[in-house]
Amino acid sequence: MPGKWERAWRERMRRPLELVTVEVSDQEKALREGRVDMCLVRGEVDRETFHLIPLYREVPVVVVPADHPVTAYDEIDIAELADEHDVLHEHPGLALAQAVETVAAGTGILVVPMSLARLHHRKDVAFRPVTGVEESPVGLAWVRPAPGDPDDPDIQAFIGIIRGRSPRSSRG
């Protein structure tokens, strides 16, 4: 979905749109520090500090070594994975790429939203949808301006794109 919004931005605006990856654990900090103007966030954010537009929900998947028995199923219930070692629960500070490397080595599994599994997909791992786990909400967040400060016009233009407004819309 972000690719569609990036294309619309390029077609409408004369300014570049820079997309950067932000770890889930760093999303609020990146916004507060001004490293990013807006962020696609997973989960909830502090609504007093940030505006949030809910966008969609993502299906959780389990990432396993390519030869793992789970690959025989179309989907699996989370209860069936109870005896497996979840790499991120055992090593919470591990970056996702490192966690996938650990899974590929056969030392655990990983439960993540499907888009993250696709982003880090490799030939030596596979993923399957997991039932019994809540879907992961994804939204667009940005810092609320101080009272009396105007909204950033570029942010408002991007919100218009996200909401599907036409270029001729009076709201951008």
- Per-residue pLDDT averaged across 68-92, rounded? 93
pTM value > 0.85: no
pLDDT for the residue numbered 19: 83
| Domain pair 2-57+136-162 / 60-131, same fold | yes
Q: Could you read off the pLDDT of 37-69 as tens digits, one per residue?
A: 999 998 889 999 999 999 999 999 999 999 999
Residue ranges per domain, the chain? 2-57+136-162, 60-131
Please give the CATH architecture assigned to the domain spanning 2-57+136-162: 3-Layer(aba) Sandwich (3.40)
Strand order in the sheet with 125-131: 76-77, 125-131, 60-65, 110-113
Would you state the torsion angle of the CA atoms of residues 118, 81, 65, 133, taken in this order, to the nearest 10 degrees? 0
User: Which CATH number describes the domain made up of 60-131?
Assistant: 3.40.190.10
pLDDT surpasses 90 at 96? no
The predicted pLDDT at position 55 comes to 93
Model pLDDT for residues 139-157, shown as the tens digit of each residue = 999 999 988 888 888 999 9
Q: Model confidence at 171, in pLDDT bands (50, 70, 90)?
A: low
Q: Is residue 25 helix, strand or coil?
A: helix
At 77, give phi and psi (nearest 5°): -80, 145
Give the H/E segment covering residue 113.
strand 110-113
Please give the residue that has the higher pLDDT: either 131 or 167. Answer: 131
- The predicted pLDDT at position 88 comes to 83
